[in-house]
């Protein structure tokens, strides 16, 4: 994860504000540890704190992107993602780590 964080910092250093990477979604199980290392390199990281069913992870991402598409901010989009998860036992697995989010910045990348 440290190498990824370094690559993100190098990328963002050489980009304009509109081209900078501002967030990451780590949809793999137990990705919280990596997310904590990466949040210093971007404005937000979404990760999974435990094992999560594939269907639940897909539901979360669908809800999250639905929120982004409708113009919601990152926190509200995250909450939309949680609302899309059908299995109530899995609603506490996705986590959101935030750092200095500015309005209008919503460029995302997904690593699975």
Complete DSSP assignment for 5-18: HHHHHHHHHTS-GG
Tokens encoding 111: 């690593």
Q: pLDDT tens digits for 27-72?
A: 889 999 888 888 888 889 999 999 999 999 999 999 999 998 998 9
Task: Check residue 79 and give its pLDDT.
Answer: 95
Q: How many domains does the chain have?
A: 1
Query: Residue 19: what pLDDT?
Result: 59
Write out the residue range of the structural domain in which residue 83 sits.
2-111
Give the C-alpha distances (Å, rounded to integers) separating 1 from 8, 15, 27, 47, 76. 11, 21, 14, 13, 27
Closest CA to 46 of 92, 78, 87, 84: 78
Say what the alpha-carbon torsion angle 68, 97, 19, 14 is, to the nearest 10 degrees. 180
Task: State the number of CA atoms in the 13 A half-sphere of 97 facing the CB.
Answer: 21
**Distance between CA atoms of 82 and 90, rounded to whole angstroms?**
9
Q: Which residues pair with residue 21 across a beta bridge?
A: none
* 94: pLDDT strictly greater than 90: yes
Mean pLDDT of 14-33: 76
E strand map for 38-91: 44-48
Does 82 score more than 90 pLDDT? yes
């Amino acid at each position: 994860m440290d190498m990824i964080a370094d690559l993100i910092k190098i990328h963002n250093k050489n980009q304009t504000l509109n081209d900078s990477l501002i967030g990451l979604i780590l949809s793999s199980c137990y990705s919280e540890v990596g997310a904590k290392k990466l949040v210093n390199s971007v404005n937000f990281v979404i990760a999974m704190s435990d094992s999560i069913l594939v269907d639940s992870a897909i539901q979360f991402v669908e809800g999250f992107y639905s929120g982004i598409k409708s113009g919601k901010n990152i926190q509200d989009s995250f909450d939309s993602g949680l609302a899309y998860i059908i299995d109530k036992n899995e609603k506490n697995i996705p986590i959101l780590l935030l750092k200095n989010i500015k309005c209008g910045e919503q460029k995302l990348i997904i690593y699975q």
